[in-house]
Each structure stands twice: as structure tokens, then as C-alpha cells.
Amino acid sequence: MSKIVAFETTDVRFPTSLSLDGSDAMNPDPDYSAAYLRITTDSDDGLEGHGFVFTIGRGNDVETTAIKALEAWFAGREVEPMLADMGGLWRELVYDSQLRWLGPEKGVMHMAIGAAVNAIWDLKAKREGLPLWQLLSRLSPEELVDLVDFRYLTDALTREDALEILTAALPARAEREAALLSDGFPAYTTTPGWLGYSDEKLVRLSREAVADGFTQIKLKVGADRADDVRRLRIARETVGPDIRIAIDANQRWDRDDAIDWIRDLAEFDIAWVEEPTNPDDILAHAAISRAIAPTPVATGEHGANRVMFKQFLQADALQVLQIDATRVAGVNENIAIILLAAKFGVPVCPHAGGVGLCEIVQHLSMFDSIAVSGTTDGRMIEFVDHLHEHFVEPVDVHDGRYWAPKLAGSGAEMLAASVSEFDFQARG
Amino acid sequence: MSKIVAFETTDVRFPTSLSLDGSDAMNPDPDYSAAYLRITTDSDDGLEGHGFVFTIGRGNDVETTAIKALEAWFAGREVEPMLADMGGLWRELVYDSQLRWLGPEKGVMHMAIGAAVNAIWDLKAKREGLPLWQLLSRLSPEELVDLVDFRYLTDALTREDALEILTAALPARAEREAALLSDGFPAYTTTPGWLGYSDEKLVRLSREAVADGFTQIKLKVGADRADDVRRLRIARETVGPDIRIAIDANQRWDRDDAIDWIRDLAEFDIAWVEEPTNPDDILAHAAISRAIAPTPVATGEHGANRVMFKQFLQADALQVLQIDATRVAGVNENIAIILLAAKFGVPVCPHAGGVGLCEIVQHLSMFDSIAVSGTTDGRMIEFVDHLHEHFVEPVDVHDGRYWAPKLAGSGAEMLAASVSEFDFQARG
């Protein structure tokens, strides 16, 4: 038996606003940040669990405090019973009635629980000597459904439904794992499309994206309609008709404005429209989906929890589901969401970028393709070439694809030197 | 001109779990708490702005930290321009892109903004020498709509719609204010109905409620079906056929369980069914509403923001709308929600209880009845006789009614001695 002996948090912030990397219609000056958690045990193996919540600057201290508030729950706790019942761990944390009051199941406290859950998954994968995607892909259907809490989901997905989905994918798991290792996983890039970039930079980065093998790029829109038309025309002329161009409004519009604005951009053959309006607005997303069909609506990076995703699927309010590695309560809740997407036949194309989101979320997509949906058709993971150098195993993206990570763990572990160098509180 | 010179927060917790006051199907052991804020200026008038977020124990430190994180925004700021543009204040805080990332517009950070906004309203009302309900009821329709942010609401409520509602209520304002002062505002009581109470205590407190003039009581349900049937039978036999009995499941059920369970309780003539399932689940609430009609569904105390309330109304997913004084981003957002309710013709019956929720939320209902919906028909404010002694102006509830508060301010100010005595961090 081993015990948790340290539960250390750090308010890590990178001063990205200086270069306008990451600028969009709602977020003009983000400082990409991580409320970072490192869990240490007294085991001789020396293995640690790392996890974090991605934020964009101010408030990263609040998020760090929320993670730290969980220390009382973890300090001194025996590790092995926790690793043996990760579904129980999730339920115990998420249904702590006093903490749940602070959401419920949304915002700062819910994300903090996600960081802690993910850190324990990181530790579990390291102990088993497997990258997280491989660990999850080798669990039995029964072990996987035990990770999921079906409360509030049963009108759309029962335990039996989930078992059926997972069992159907079982026979071809080995074949798909081999295919993943040899062919990688499709990626798309948002690198060319930030609002703060000049037209010249948009052209140059779009050309580079195509040269790098990407078959989809994404442009931020929603600040100025004439600018959007101009930038989309430039992008389309630059990449030609065969490269997919998605657009991302970052919640800029009201329902009817969205429908109207998107019609002006339709001539550029849009792959999907991302976050057209408020991320809580299921009914508006459903109306926009009906109005702009067959152009798909994509959303999810700000989806607070599995109950919101369930409703978006029930209402046909999204046609591309974008999970996020650190918005919901960790791996368990994302597995629930991936199962919901499979039940409704909707592709999961994760949100990534930020800091470390690519590193973690790739594991979930790879698991999805092997053990849940059983396909990479229509699936791709967002890629932004940014801040990867701070991670122990930076993503390997080339030829327009993610290549499966090899190190044991969840991908969340940042270099100790980076955590230390960008410790916002230590810099004062 | 005066400036903000202090922005003090306190983690106030009352050890209520010891007596099982406040126990329900999801919250077995709450310690009623307030993440408390006191804003001081350098004005000679000595007036302060007080506000807080109500929580139920663990995590109150996180909420307090989130409020404290806003100090940088307020410290040294000139007061008068803020008081002159409360709508601008709200927008500036809620749309701070870095803080917004932590929700968006939900959970710990959004509630913290609510506490700060409410503290400024408290200060404004004190400076104008009016209780908040009276201050709001005397603003012009144009001044009121300037307080509201219509972003994401325009598919249900535009500025013009809101002006029309407010203008229609204008002529009879004075008459309704006089009626409020002479007749009070209807109340109902939850005091008899906590799950942790014995049958004997249920009977005794139900009798007292009727003797005290209440025409509605509310019982917690959802832990055990046979217990619910027994307790409802006891309550109905105790109060007779003319007293309304509402039930509150505190999110206990999945959609189909709710429908099934509620049918078993229908024989007791239920006034409304509160929080039957997850508070984010608009579609499930709509299905439950259809299934149990004409019994109304009530919800809202965990409604994260105006966009969620908008959808509940659009989907006919609630028939009684329960605002909460400290869940959304303060007075401004609650005015938006009250206007939405008026647009859809749905009565607002606030959630209260906890600590200080009655003291604040009564102002909003009184304002609603005078200047928005223009009626008290079908409206009542929840009352729990608990912890009022800690406030500078405890609610005055007798003869089954709330009587309009007279002191200038929002009602949020706690006695300094209570803040000090129940300072959780100071007690160590």
C-alpha cells in the first residue's frame, strides 16, 4: 500500500498576450495558463500524478485555490483502492454535496475536480506503464461503464446502451490500435486563423498548413463581418477548393445574428461553424443547426458537463462534438460524453490548443477510435503549434496527423523547469 | 468624488449541520455559509457596500478567494461613475474575457461577480437612502433596461420588449407600492419540511405554520418513496385541504424516475414539484412538465445564468420561476430574469432560506410586483425561520407575509459581531 504525501499546486502563466497568439472575437488578450497539480506518493516507484486546468490568465489563482481545496480529501489517502475504483473516486468528489453547491457540476470547482481526477489517471497510467489511450483501450466494456456515472443520463444513455456500444467495438480493437500506430490520427490546425494576425501572416501560415499535410484549417470570425468575408476569401484562394475551412465565432452572436452572418460566409464552403452563440444555449444552437444545414454546428469546449452535452445531442444542436480535456470533471466524464456521442452517431473532434490541451485530449480521441466509435472517419483533433516544448512528451504532429504518444501517463506532465519558470506567484 | 479604499472578504460559516436544519435528499449535512464582502469608501458618509455568496460549507473558502480576486478591479476605483452606470459595471465584470473563461457565466467566478455587483447596489441604495426594492421601483423603464444586458436574450426578449413590459406597469406603481406597505407580500414556509426531522416535528411545525398564517408549506422529498408518501399524508392530514403543499426533490431523480415517483404523490394535491432533476436539464424538465401537468414544475435556485432561464421559459420547462439572490451575477441579472418571466407570463417565487437569502431576495420580488409583473397573484417568497438574527435588518415575516424592509440598502449587511464570531478562518 502507498499513500499520497504531497498535493502541490502551481499558478502557471505564459505571457502569450504579448504576441496576440490565441486572440479571437471574445478573447482579445489571453495569457495561456494552467492551474497545475502534482500528486506525490510514498511508493518506492517514485511515480507522480500530474493534472491541470487550462485558463487564459486572470482567475488562474482562483482555479489553483479550488484545486488546493481538494488536498484535504487526498492527503494521506491510500492510493491502491482509489486506482482500483476510479468510478467511485469520481462519484465521491463530484457528489460531495457541499462542493457540488458551488456549481453544481460546472465552473471553477468542477474543473478543479477534473484536474484531480486526471492527475490520478496520470498516476494510474504511469503505474501500469501505458499511455492513457492504451490503458483505456484495453479496459473491458464492464470496466469502462463502471467509470461512468449514468445519473441524469438514463433518458438518453443507459449502462446497457453503453455496454452494447463498447461490446460492438470490441472485436476490432487490436486491428484499430495497429492502424493508429502505423497511420496516426487526423489533425486540423488553427494556427493560421487567429484574429490578431495580419492578412500576410494568414496567407503564409495557411500555405504552411497545407504544406505540412493538414487537410483542414480553422479561422476565427465574428468581430467584423467585412473582415470575415475578406479573410475567408484570402484563405480559400490560398488553400484552394480541396482543403476544408472551418470557422469559429467564439460565442460572438445572438441566435438570429448568427444565422444571418453565417449566410454571408456560406460561399466559401464552410466545414463547420464553431461556437456560434452562448455555449449554454441548446435551443439557439438547435435553431442555428436547422437554419444552416447541411453546414454542421460544432461546439463543446465550454460545455459544462455531461448533462449539457446530452441535451445538445437530444436536440440535434451540434453535429460535431468538441470535448475539452480540462473543462469537465476529467477522464470519466469525457468517457460519458464520448459514449453519448456514439449513441447519437455524432463525431467527436476535440478542442485543443491552449497549453497542454493537445497533449491530453489526443489520448481520449485515440481511445474513442479504438474502443467506442471504432472509427476515425469524420474525426480530427485540433492542433495549434504552441507551448508544446513545456511538456515531458510534446505532441508528435506531422504529415497532418497526430502520432500516438508512447510514454506512460496522461500527457499532462509539464517540465519541472517550465512550471518553475512560469510560476506566476513566485514571479510576484 | 470618493474612492474604494477597502475590499474585505470573510469566510463566514454557521455550524448548522449539527441540528440537521437544511437537510434534504442531496444535501444531508449543510453548514450554511457566506463568502462575505464589505466594501468601504473614503467618503465622509461612512456608508459601506455589503454582499455575499451563500454556500453550504466546504468550498466557502474558494468562493471567498474568487471574490477577493476582484479586489484588483475595485481597489482605488471612483465610486460615483460606477453608481451612475450599473449596467456598464455588470458588463465590464461579466465580460472580462479572462475571468469569463472560468465559467463562462456560471459557478464560483460568476457568483463572486454577483457578490461584488450586489455590494455596489447595497452602497447605492444606502447613498440614496432607500431600501433596494424602493430604489429599483422608482427607476424609469429606460434606466431599468440600461441595467440589463440583452446579449443572448434577443431571441426571447429584446430591449423593446422589456421597455414595453415596464412601461405597461408604470401607471399603477404608486398604488402597488402603497398596497405592499399596507398588506405585505405573500410568503410560504419550508421550516416544517426538512428530511432530517421526525414525524412528530413535522406535525408540530406544520401546525405552527398554519397558526402563523402561512397558506403554503413545502416538504423535501426524494430520498425514500414510502417515506415521502407517509410524510405527505401526515402533512396533508395536519394542515387540511386548504393549505397548499409544495414538494422539493432537490435534483434527486432522473427524468423517468421523476415522472413515476411524482405520480405516487399526486393524491396529496401538490402545489408544485421543485427541482425534480438536474438543474441544467431543460429538456427533462420540459418532459416532466408535460407529464405531470397541470401540477407545475418549479426550479431556478441553481439556474446558472439568464441564458438557462431563457431556455427553461422557451421550452415550457418550468411554470414557477425561482430566482436566487446569490447564484447569478447579482441584481442586474435577476432583473433580466424577472423581465424574461414577465414576457412568458410565468410567476417568480424566489428561493430563499440559507443564510441571508430571504433578506436580499425579498427586495427583488417586491420590485417585480410593483414595476414588472405588476401583481402578487400566484407569487410568494420562500421563508425559513433561520439565522435572521445575524442581519442588521432581519426579515419581518408575520401573518404569513413578508413586510417591506425599511432600512436603506439591499438587506445583505450582516452584524459585524456575527461576521467576526463565525469567521471560519479566524476560528482555525
Q: What is the ipTM of this complex?
A: 0.97
Question: pTM of this prediction?
Answer: 0.97
Q: What is the DSSP letter of A296?
A: P
pLDDT of residue A196: 83
Instruction: Give A 112-151 residues with CB within 8 A of chain B.
Output: 112, 151
Query: Could you tell me how far CA A282 lies from the centroid of its own chain?
Result: 20
Which residue ranges of chain B lie beneath pLDDT 70?
19-23, 25-26, 428
Cβ pair A3, A78 in contact under 8 A = yes
Interchain contact B88–A (C-beta under 8 A): no
Dist. CA A110–CA A303, nearest whole Å = 12
Instruction: Tell me, letter by letter, the H, E, C secondary structure of chain B.
Output: CCEEEEEEEEEEECCHHHHCCCCCCCCCCCCCEEEEEEEEECCCCCCEEEEEEEECCCCHHHHHHHHHCCHHHHCCCEHHHHHHCHHHHHHHHHCCHHHHCCCCCCHHHHHHHHHHHHHHHHHHHHHHCCEHHHHHHCCCHHHHHHHCCCCCCCCCCCHHHHHHHHHHHCCCHHHHHHHHHHHCEEEEEEEEECCCCCHHHHHHHHHHHHHCCCCEEEEECCCCHHHHHHHHHHHHHHHCCCCEEEEECCCCCCHHHHHHHHHHHHHHCEEEEECCCCCCCHHHHHHHHHHHCCCCEEECCCCCCHHHHHHHHHCCCCCEECCCCCCCCHHHHHHHHHHHHHHHCCCECCCCCCCCHHHHHHHHHHHHHHHHCCCCCCCCEEECCCCHHHECCCCEEECCEEECCCCCECCCCECHHHHHHCEHHHHC
**Residues from chain B contacting residue A254 (CB–CB below 8 Å):** 151-155
Instruction: Calculate how close chain B gets to A223, using CA atoms only, in Å.
Output: 14
How many contacts does A have with B, using Cβ atoms within 8 A? Answer: 188
Whether domain A173-416 has CATH 3.20.20.120: the reply is yes
Q: Is A108's CB within 8 Å of B108's CB?
A: yes
Cell of B126: 444606502
pLDDT of residue B428: 60
Domain boundaries, chain A: 4-130, 173-416
One fold for B4-130 and B173-416: no
What tens digit of pLDDT does each residue of B303-346 get? 999 999 999 999 999 999 999 999 999 999 999 999 999 999 99
pLDDT of residue A428: 59
Instruction: Calculate how close chain B gets to A65, using CA atoms only, in Å.
Output: 6
pLDDT of residue B263: 95
B220 in catalytic set: yes
pLDDT of residue A427: 78
Cβ pair A119, A51 in contact under 8 A = yes
**Mean pLDDT for each 10-residue chunk of chain A (428 residues)?**
97 85 72 97 98 96 98 97 98 96 98 98 98 98 98 98 98 98 97 89 96 97 96 97 97 98 96 98 98 98 98 98 98 99 98 97 98 98 95 98 98 98 89
Q: Choose, out of B14, B155, B161, the residue to mutate when testing the contact with A (most A CBs < 10 Å).
A: B155
Dist. CA B12–CA A421, nearest whole Å = 36
Q: Choose, out of A155, A220, A312, A328, the residue to mutate when testing the contact with B (most B CBs < 10 Å).
A: A155
From the CB of residue A130, how many other CB atoms can be counted at a distance below 10 Å?
A: 18
Interchain contact B172–A (C-beta under 8 A): no
**Residues from chain B contacting residue A102 (CB–CB below 8 Å):** 55, 59, 62-63, 107-108, 111
pLDDT of residue A99: 96
* Nearest in space to A325 (alpha carbons), one of A410, A389, A398: A410
Q: Choose, out of B13, B24, B106, the residue to mutate when testing the contact with A (most A CBs < 10 Å).
A: B106
pLDDT of residue B18: 74
pLDDT of residue B30: 87
Distances, alpha carbon A54 to alpha carbons A302, A324, A351, in Å: 12, 10, 12
Cell of A224: 467584423
Whether domain B4-130 has CATH 3.40.50.300: the reply is no
